[in-house]
Amino acid sequence: MKFRDLKAQYNKYKYEIDSAIRGVINSSRFIGGEEVNVLEKRLAEYVGVKNCITCANGTDAMTLLMMAWDINEGDAVFVPDFTFFSTGEIVSFRGATPVFIDIDRDTFNIDTVKLEKAINKVLEEGKLTPKVIIPVDLFGLPADYLKIEKISKKYNLRVLEDAAQGFGGSINGKKACSFGDAATTSFFPAKPLGCYGDGGAIFTDDDSLVQLIKSLKVHGKGDNKYDNVRIGVNSRLDTIQAAVLNVKMTAFMDHELEDVNRVFKLYNEKLEGVVETPVIPDGFVSSFAQYTIKLRSKEERDLLQVKLKRQGIPSMIYYVKPMHKQDAFSELSFNEGDFKVTNELCKTVLSLPMHPYLGEEDIDLVCEVIKAYLV
C-alpha cells in the first residue's frame, strides 16, 4: 500500500501526461509560454480570484509576497506553531520575527483566540510591529477565515493564506486560495494538486500586487528581463510542469477532490468510536492533503505505527516537532505554556494513507489493524 499513490494516478492519465510533456519538448519552449498562461487562467477561474501568478515552489510564493509587502526586520508575522517549516522560514528569511500561535485541537488550524492575545502582547511590548497573519490550511482544511478576517481588520494586518496543502478546500462554497489579501499554494508532488517536481502559485484580487510580483519573480525586471528596476529572484514554473498540471487539474476537478472525500467518509465511518478522527466543521470542505487521527499517548501512537508497518501500511507523523522547538528558531524566546495543543499533538497524531485512488479493501485493512490494536 502507498501513502500517496502517484503511480496509480499516472497510470490512469499516462496517455494525456505523456503527450503533454512531449508537446513541450517538441515545441522546445521550456520556460513560460502558452501552457503556463492557460494554467494560470484555469487556476484563477477555479479558485474564483482575478489573478494567479505561478512560480517555482510554494516557499517562493510566500517569499515573493513578503518581498512585495516589504516585510523586514522589526516586523511581527503570526504563524501557527503546527505546520511545515516553510511557513515560519520565509518570515525569518526576510529578517522579520515569526510569532508562533497554538492551534485549535479539532481543526489543527490556528487558534484565533490565542492569535488575538498574541497580537495584543506584541503591541503591549512595543518592540515589534504586527504586520501579517499567515493562517495555514493544514491537511487540506481551510483555517477559520471568518474570524481571522475580523481580527485582521481590527488590527489592520495583512492576511496571507498558506494553502500549500489546501488547494480545493472551501468554506460555504468559497474556495481555498481566495482568502486574505493574497494566498499561495504548492505543486510539490504529494500536495492535493501536485506536479512532477517543484511548483507554486500566488492568488490575489489585488491588481496592484500583480505587476510587482511579476517583476520580483524575474530578477526585478522592468520592461523586460534585461531592464532591472529592483532586486528580485528567479522563480518561474517550468513549462513541462505547467503541461503536467493542466492534465492533473482536469482530473482534480473531475473526480479527485470527490474521491478523497469519499475516502475520508469511509475512514470516519469505520473508525467511529475507535479513535479520534478528523473533524470537518459545517460548511467547510477539506481537500485532504492528509487524513490524521489522534491517539491517547505517544506510546500508543508509536506502537500503532509499528503495527501498521508490519502489515505493509505506511503512515507518517505530521509534525514531529512544533515550530517553536526547531533549532533554527532557537534565538527566539517562547513561553512553553503557550503551545499546549501543539505540544500534545506532536506526540499523538498519525496520518494514514490518503489519496484519490485508495480502494475500499485497503481502507478496510488499515481500519482492521487499528481496531485490532485499540479495541
Spatial CA neighbour of 160 closest among 234, 71, 289: 71
Output 183 or 280, the one with its CB closest to ligand PLP. Answer: 183
63 binds ligand PLP (CB under 6 A): no
**Of 204-223, which residues contact ligand PLP (CB under 6 A)?**
none
For ligand PLP, which is the closer residue by CB, 59 or 107?
59
**Beta sheet of 170-171, edge-to-edge order:** 174-175, 170-171, 284-285
For position 200 contacting ligand PLP by CB under 6 A, the verdict is yes
165 or 343: CB nearest ligand PLP:
165
Q: Residue 23 or 189: which CB sits closer to ligand PLP?
A: 189
* 58 is a contact residue toward ligand PLP (CB under 6 A): yes
The candidate with the shortest Cα–Cα distance to 186, out of 164, 202, 161, 204, is 164
What residues between 125 and 184 interact with ligand PLP by CB under 6 A? Answer: 136, 162, 164-165
Contact, 182 vs 202, CB < 8 A? yes
Least gap, CB of 163 to ligand PLP (angstroms): 8
CB of 110 to ligand PLP, least distance (A): 12
Annotate each residue in 14-53 with x if it binds ligand PLP (CB under 6 A) or - if it does not, as one string. ----------------------------------------
Of 191, 160, 222, 185, nearest to 54 (Cα)? 185
Distance between CA atoms of residues 87 and 284, nearest Å? 22
Torsion over CA of 81, 86, 92 and 94, rounded to 10 degrees?
-140
Identity of the residue numbered 29? R
Taking the complex as a whole, the smallest distance from the CB of residue 234 to ligand PLP amounts, in Å, to 15
Locus of grid cell 487539474: 249
- Using CB under 6 A as the binding criterion, the count of chain residues that bind ligand PLP stands at 15
Q: Can you tell me which of 46, 82, 188, 252 binds ligand PLP, judged by CB under 6 A?
A: 188
State which residue, 164 or 263, has the beta carbon closest to ligand PLP. 164
Find the shortest distance in angstroms from Cβ 184 to ligand PLP: 8
Contacts of 34 (CB under 8 A, 6+ apart): none
> How far is 176 from 155, CA to CA, in rounded Å?
23
Residue 143, judged by CB atoms within 10 A of its CB (0-12, 13-18, 19+), counts as buried
CB burial of residue 199 (10 Å; 0-12, 13-18, 19+) = buried
> Of 84-123, which residues contact ligand PLP (CB under 6 A)?
84, 86-87
Q: Give me the DSSP letters along 314-338.
A: --B-TTSS-GGGSGGGTTS---GGG
Query: Least Å distance between CB 142 and ligand PLP?
Result: 13
Cα–Cα distance list, 110 to 189, 260, 290 (Å): 25, 23, 17
d(CA 343, CA 178): 30
Q: Which of 57, 178, 239, 241 binds ligand PLP (CB under 6 A)?
A: 57
Residue number, 87 or 292, with CB nearest to ligand PLP: 87
Please report whether residue 186 would count as binding ligand PLP according to CB under 6 A: yes
The number of CA neighbours under 13 Å toward the Cβ of 7 is 3
Question: Contacting ligand PLP (CB under 6 A), which of 9, 63, 83, 241?
Answer: 83
- Residue 170 or 185: which CB sits closer to ligand PLP? 185
Please say which residue, 23 or 197, places its beta carbon nearer to ligand PLP.
197
Decide: is 59 part of the binding site for ligand PLP (CB under 6 A): yes
Do 281 and 147 meet the contact criterion of CB atoms below 8 Å apart? no
Looking at 83-91, 258-266, 268-276, 303-311, which segment touches ligand PLP (CB under 6 A)? 83-91
Q: Which residue number is nearest to ligand PLP in terms of Cβ?
A: 58
Q: Is 366 in the site for ligand PLP (CB under 6 A)?
A: no
Measured from the CB atom, is 9 or 186 closer to ligand PLP?
186
Judged by the rule CB under 6 A, the positions of this chain that interact with ligand PLP are: 57-59, 83-84, 86-87, 136, 162, 164-165, 186, 188, 198, 200
